[in-house]
Structure 1
Amino acid sequence: MVIHKNMHVEKVRLMKARKQKEIIESAIKLFAENGFTNTSIQEIVNDCGISKGAFYNYFPSKEALHIAIFEYYFEQMRARTLEIDAEQLPPREKLVKLLNVPFEQLAQQKDFFMVYMREQSFTINKELREVMGKTQFEMLTWYEKNLKKVYGDKVNGYTGDIIMLIEGIRSSYLAAILIQNSQIDATLVPTFIMNRIEDMVSSFENGEEPIMKNNLLDLFTNQSCSSLNHHEKASSLLADMKEQLEVMNFSDAQKEGLTGVLAFLNSELQKPSIEKYAFQGMLANLKTVKEFDIYREKLASLLAIELL
């Protein structure tokens, strides 16, 4: 009896998820054509063939749907990024593939990128700003981690300027391809960006001083995600670490131990005030995982903790 009940609950959940996906896809098409403000719920339900009353069974408002759209597509980009990170590739080749993710997604989800470009300059509400800011924070963290894998100590103190270069070129080419309908071969852009990174690293090796003096990740998150406090940013980093751990080549026992460390750290972040020495000690347990080095540094910086 319990098994049948669980199967029914799962069936209902899957049916709801499918319908939510249909509504999201209808809405993103209409938002891309007409803009968020000029698209009514009635137009959305007409397009996906449901009643207005049924719409509210899936989303409490048009604003909630708008946020769900961004979460849905950002999750697809995150999944693709994790997939690349799990591949056994030389660091430089992996970074090029990472740089290609937005262009790869653009080819598949042009309507979403049209809406995303509009929202870059005008976000609808605080919650959407948080979603966009969190995603940007994650992407910049991925860039920094992989830059250090490719260049090691050569980029210490310079990653901020390099990421600014990446973001500037990437955004400009995405806009040119999407908004201006430029005849640009998007498959060439990631390698082009990688070559510019090489030029920049050579320039720094020859003594050029960096322009970015502050932590770039703090700058971006303060601008686009200012309502997130340091504990929330740290929780986001721990969530990324947990996702990466799931695809790492460790034994079940090792994964269980590391998962326990991450769970402890996350539980500390839920407290009004963390026990810094306990947090510091548990962070030290992650030193054996080289892929976590950049995350340990960011956590220590966010929470004003010295790494052991």
Structure 2
Amino acid sequence: MKARKQKEIIESAIKLFAENGFTNTSIQEIVNDCGISKGAFYNYFPSKEALHIAIFEYYFEQMRTRTHEIDNEQLPPREKLTKLLSVPFEQLTQQKDFFMVYMREQSFSINKELRQVMEKTQFEMLAWYQNNLKEVYGEKIADYTGDIIMLIEGIRSSYLVAILIQDLQIDAALVPTFIMNRIDDMVDSFEKGEEPIMKRNLLNIFTQNSLDTLSISEKVSSLLEDMHEQLEVMNFSDEQKEGLTGVIDFLNRELEKPAIEKYTFQGMLANLKTVKEFDIYREKIANLLGLQLL
């Protein structure tokens, strides 16, 4: 019951934020739209800012769930990546108001908590890109993955803006295949000797810039939390999820010790290698702790 009412409030707010902006929308307008009292609103959200963050978490989770559904279809790598690239365009037809708010807020952060939600999603996106591009093109693209990701995001964002803001009549179903063809062109060009522009791994740059204020244990804990959240929507049996959750919980408990037992941590981390989506997280954790992946 509470979850349903929270969803109703979120959907009312996202419509009003898209129309009028966050600052120009009052809590009174939100409660009027969804038919509750202002007092009742605070039973669900402590503030308008908290509601704003919940909106982003709600819609990012929907997109995350959709990508995992495609991951679990066991498609050939190229077909899977093409289908995954279509997800934002699928979502745009269903969640136009959210995209209006997102395109405003990705440039103007309202508060630290919202920025953290966006950064977490960006980290997941970069990890997702690296894993799927490697599946399609192999290790040969390691030195220029950053350039490929910049190309993908540039094209995809431009077409989303054209459809959403400029109201151009574009067949969005053609965009994923168009992007894949442009990736092929880039890979071919780099193989012929063109110099990459991005000299460093985008995921490493992002992690360094966003997590520099955290201790190593806090960084590892953040990565484990991301893995735990992804596990909740993955297509595993209850028994498999319980086992993998137990591994993550064990690793979190190890982090709480005054000194991490590295060999124990290394051995338990190896138990997560059966989940390919976790490869990039395991690699990052191993680098932070100075471990060799088993």
TM-score by length of 2: 0.89
Separation (CA, whole Å) in 2 of partners of 1:289 and 1:48: 41
Q: Does 1:72 align with 2:62?
A: no
Matched ranges for 1:2-41 at <5 A: 15-41=1-27
CA contact (8 A) 2:10 2:55 kept: yes
How many residue pairs match? The answer is 291
**Alpha-carbon deviation of 1:227?**
6.0
Q: Distance in 2 between matches of 1:225 and 1:167?
A: 23
Matched, 1:127 2:113: yes
Contact 1:26 1:44 in 2 (8 A): yes
Greater mean alpha carbon deviation, residues 294-303 or residues 104-113: 294-303
Contact 2:83/2:176 (CA < 8 Å) preserved in 1? Answer: yes
User: Which residue of the partner structure matches residue 238 of structure 1?
Assistant: 227
Question: What is the one-letter code of the residue matched to 1:153?
Answer: E
Cα distance in 1 for partners of 2:188, 2:60 equals: 33
- Pair 1:83 & 2:69 matched: yes
- Which amino acid is the alignment partner of residue 56 of structure 1? Y
**Of the candidates 141, 150, 157, which is equivalent to residue 155 of structure 1?**
141
Gapped regions of structure 1 (runs ≥ 5): 1-14
> 8 Å contact 1:71–1:131 — kept in the other structure?
yes
Supply the distance in 2 between the matched residues of 1:220 and 1:174 (Cα, whole angstroms).
Answer: 23
> Bigger CA drift: 217-226 or 73-82?
217-226
Post-superposition Cα deviations, 1:192-211, rounded to whole Å, max 9, x if no partner, equal 11111111111222222322
1:83 is matched by which residue type in structure 2?
Answer: E
Counterpart contact for 2:123–2:207, Cα < 8 Å: yes
- 1:48 counterpart = 2:34: yes
Indicate yes or no: 2:187 matched with 1:178.
Answer: no
RMSD: 2.4
Asked if the contact 2:155–2:179 (Cα under 8 Å) also holds between the matched residues in 1, the reply is yes
Contact 1:129 1:224 (8 Å CA) reproduced: no
8 Å CA contact 1:265–1:282 kept in 2: the answer is: yes
Describe the shift of the 1:22–1:258 C-alpha distance in structure 2 as closer, same or farther (beyond 3 A).
closer
Partner of 1:12: none
Aligned to 1:5: none
Cα distance in 2 for partners of 1:237, 1:97 equals 23
Task: Report the secondary structure of 1:157's partner residue.
Answer: helix
Q: CA deviation at 1:16?
A: 1.1
Q: Deviations over 1:68-123 (max 9, x none)?
A: 10011111001101101100210101001111111111111000000000001101
Letter in 2 for 1:238: M
Deviation at 1:152, TM superposition (A): 1.4
Matching residue of 1:201: 187
Counterparts of 1:46 and 1:70, CA distance in 2:
22
The sequence identity of aligned pairs, in percent, is 78
Which residue in the other structure is 1:6 paired with? Answer: none
Q: 2: CA distance between counterparts of 1:109 and 1:131?
A: 19
Letter in 2 for 1:181: D
Q: Secondary structure at the match of 1:60?
A: coil
Map Cα deviations across residues 11-54 of structure 1 (whole Å, 9 max, x no partner): xxxx1111111111110000000000000001111111111111
One-letter identity of the residue aligned with 2:129: Y
Structure 1 residue 217, shift from structure 2 partner = 1.4
Moved more, 110-119 or 234-243: 234-243
Shift of 1:187: 1.2
Distance 1:233 1:217, change over 3 A: farther
State the alpha-carbon separation in 2 of the partners of residues 302 and 110 from structure 1: 39
Q: Residues 124 and 290 from structure 1, CA distance in 2 versus in 1: closer, same or farther, beyond 3 angstroms?
A: closer
Contact 2:286–2:293 under 8 Å retained in 1: yes
Q: Is it true that 1:104 corresponds to 2:90 in the alignment? A: yes
